[in-house]
Amino acid sequence: YILRQCRLRGKIDSNGCTTAFLEERLNMGLNFILSAEIDHKNERLQIWIWIDRRMRFDFIFPRKKAIEDVSR
């Protein structure tokens, strides 16, 4: 699919967090929105997908906790 008139916004803040937001109108009254946030400090990725602002899908990938070696 070719995104002809999409709106693309992004930001990088001082905490090491990068955010991008893409919005495309598919048909009259039907929007497709894709948003992602990468938090380098906390090692976390979040992805949001909206269709017409009513259907929302969230994907969150938290950091993996380190497994400590407690063998003695």
Band the pLDDT of 6: cuts 50, 70, 90. confident
Q: How far apart are the first and last CA of the chain?
A: 58
Strands of the 30-39 sheet, one edge to the other:
7-12, 17-27, 30-39, 44-51, 55-61
* pLDDT of the residue at 57: 79
* pLDDT of the residue at 69: 40
In angstroms, the CA 33 to CA 5 distance is 13
Q: Give 16-41 pLDDT, tens digit per residue.
A: 899 999 988 887 778 888 999 999 88
Q: Give 45-63 pLDDT, tens digit per residue.
A: 888 888 876 777 777 776 5
* pLDDT of the residue at 1: 57
In angstroms, the CA 42 to CA 38 distance is 9
* pLDDT of the residue at 53: 63
